[in-house]
Amino acid sequence: MPGPIPVSVPADKTPIRSVDPAQKENRDPVYVRDTPKVFRDIGFASLPMMANVRHTRLNYYSAVEFEKLYGKIKTQEHAHGLHDAMTHLPNALEHPLAIVVNKALHATPGSVVAITDMDVGGKKIVVQVLIEATSSADNQFIDSHLVLTVYDESDWMNKFLKPALEAEKNGVGIFYFDKEKASRYNALSNRKGIIPTGIVHNIDENGSPVKGKFKKQKETLQFERWFGDSVVVDEDGSNRRVQLS
């Protein structure tokens, strides 16, 4: 498979632009946003967050709406009709409630879930975002993090958070947790002292179940351009950034 290709996407190519029926013949990857600081703090590369245009449309439209515009749906998994949530997604990713290892049943190995809460129409909702290390289009890797899909799973605590907490007991399960946001939810506020807070783990540290997958993003074209011909490496032979005096 060919190596990574650079991404050059106009800033206005947001998820909402991609679901415009006038764009229905467009199959280009969807720009969601630049990788937020909280993700960079836990080890994500400074790359765009991108999404598959079909998955974005499946998330945005209901099954009926999607089939009317784009044809038959092969699976119902992504068709949620999350019109408002998809509009708020870029901002919600900047301040998530938690970023956890994806330990859900049938989870994609090496993926993470950002648990976000957002105000939609005066109502607080929790939306879970599945994020993978690499994106691809036309059988080529893209220099980006992949926002694979968005869930409106009402039982997000049992599906995503609790399995990550169990994993945390014996290793790495939670990368980031916002205690203040958690206090809004009784089932979480009653667990003070049990859930770690702030930056908990880095995706690159030993024992991280996503380390191997996300390491690919340190082999992207952007990364190579950043380091150029540097010969400074860390213990495992990877390029290491140094502070020049």
Separation between Cα atoms, residue 213 and residue 236, nearest integer Å: 16
Instruction: Report pLDDT digits (tens) over 55-69.
Output: 899 999 998 999 999
Separation between Cα atoms, residue 1 and residue 142, nearest integer Å: 12
Report helix angle 53-60 to 83-92, nearest 10. Answer: 120
30 CA to centre of own chain: 13
Strand partners, 120: 123
Instruction: Report pLDDT digits (tens) over 161-189.
Output: 888 988 888 899 999 999 888 888 776 75
Instruction: Report pLDDT digits (tens) over 133-162.
Output: 766 666 666 778 889 888 877 888 888 988
Which residues lie closer than 8 Å to 210 by C-beta, 6 or more apart?
A: 101, 110, 111, 112, 133, 203
3-state secondary structure at position 141: strand
pTM (predicted TM-score): 0.82
